[in-house]
Amino acid sequence: MTYTLWFNCHVATMQDGRWSTIEHAAILTGAGRIEWVGEYRDAPGGTHQRVDLGGAWVTPGLIDCHTHAVFGGNRSDEFQQRLEGVSYKEIAAAGGGIASTVRHTRAADAASLYRSARRRLEHLMRDGVTTVEIKSGYGLDLESERKMLSVARRLGDTLPLNVRLTCLAAHALPPEYAGRADDYIDYVCDVVLPTLVAERLVDAVDVFCESIAFSVPQSERVLRRARDLGVAVKIHAEQLSSLGGASMAASLGALSADHVEYLTEDDVRAMAHAGTVAVLLPGAFHMLRETRQPPVEWLRKYGVDIAISTDLNPGTSPALSLRLMLNLACVQFGLTPEEALAGVTCHAAKALGLSETHGSIEPGKVADFVAWEIDRPADLAYWLGGQIPNRVVWQGRLLTPDTDTSGLSRWEHQHDA
């Protein structure tokens, strides 16, 4: 086996959600895995390929654990309406919102969905993202949900990116089921989930539990069905109101409850008990001009792990930078830069059920990491957007040469080499 020693760097391992820094460090990789990490002077001997990282700070590859990156159309018109005072709920009630993106996504062919999603993912990847979760949920019928998940899978097959697939068929009520939400839930449970799980297009199942979407009992039926099919579950909950969806999902062992601004203290206890991660989405909070903050103090008090994600979607969070979300999570929600970085590494991995293999720089884990030209790790949450020169190592292979931002053609070239 060829081993590579990455040296002349400092490492924030993010083990157990802490910086756990090692200065004057080195990392040994082989067969796409991390073999060893420690101080350079203690590095294992032998004839390794050597890569000088030029004094960079190395973090785990960033993990964006909640996106709706595959969709047709765009909703900047609704953005304008909201700025004029129309609410997200009012837009949804008038047939806009998710329903508008469903129309565009159903009408789009797979090739155009692939192209537009790929462009969005390129932004995330240049900013150090090596794993991304992509949800369906703008198809809302078997064929269109399959189209979305197949596009997501193809993105994972063709890009140097680990893509996880989440079926969110219960995202909204499709027009053909208007007034018949329970019938749609039957269809999701009896047809959509079993078929797509059998086609291996589903790593997890999600549901939007909210007054403008599905009730707690309806959401519970979907998640129970997913569990019976042997698939992990998660939930969009407590975003606009407090319904108890997060507690219900926690009682089913959900990987994560996402948004969660309106969690009660009892919900937080239930999540702590179940080990359910709280995924905070500051982009949606910002875009909807929400004022209710997620209960970060309770999450800390009860030891609920906190993840941060873009929620990249055309309605509430057209966010193309996960690093910008770190800043928003610190400034808007009061996280420390250390908590924020844990939220896109270690705890984001947990929210995807990937704790064993991803999210920290430790022996045995997949060799996904980023070497950043920064003075200290907190710089990642400090700059508002922009491009921090970085080099991405994905599965032990160097993808980007220093400041190259010319796009994936070069990445793919190196990837294929």
Contacting positions for ligand NIG (CB under 6 A): 68, 97-98, 101, 208, 236, 239, 284, 311, 313-317
β-pair type (3-12, 49-60): parallel
Beta bridge partners of 39: 25
Q: By rule CB under 5 A, what count of residues binds Fe ion? A: 1
3-state secondary structure of 336: coil
Residue (238 or 338) nearer to ligand NIG, CB: 238
Residue (25 or 216) nearer to ligand NIG, CB: 216
Residue (68 or 323) nearer to ligand NIG, CB: 68
Give every strand in the sheet of 369-372, ordered side by side: 33-39, 21-30, 3-12, 49-60, 369-372, 390-394, 397-398
Q: How far is the CB of 341 from Fe ion (least distance, A)?
A: 21
3-state secondary structure of 25: strand
Among 141, 311, 338, 339, binds Fe ion (CB under 5 A): 311
Q: How far is the CB of 194 from ligand NIG (least distance, A)?
A: 24
51, 7 in Cβ contact below 8 A?
yes
Largest distance between two CA atoms of the chain: 68
Q: How far is the CB of 307 from ligand NIG (least distance, A)?
A: 14
Q: How far is the CB of 92 from ligand NIG (least distance, A)?
A: 8
Contacted entry of ligand NIG, Fe ion, none for residue 59, CB cut-off 5 to 8 Å set by kind: none
Residue (133 or 368) nearer to ligand NIG, CB: 133
CA dihedral (399, 402, 407, 410) in degrees, to 10, reads -50
Q: Which two tokens stand for residue 113?
A: 């969905």
Residue (102 or 189) nearer to ligand NIG, CB: 102
Alpha carbon distance 317, 287 (integer Å): 6
Which H or E run includes 204? strand 204-207
Q: How far is the CB of 313 from ligand NIG (least distance, A)?
A: 4
Which residue's CB atom is positioned nearest to ligand NIG? Answer: 315
Contacted entry of Fe ion, ligand NIG, none for residue 164, CB cut-off 5 to 8 Å set by kind: none
267 binds Fe ion (CB under 5 A): no
Query: Residue 313 has what DSSP assignment?
Result: B
Residues forming contacts to Fe ion in the complex (CB under 5 A) are 311
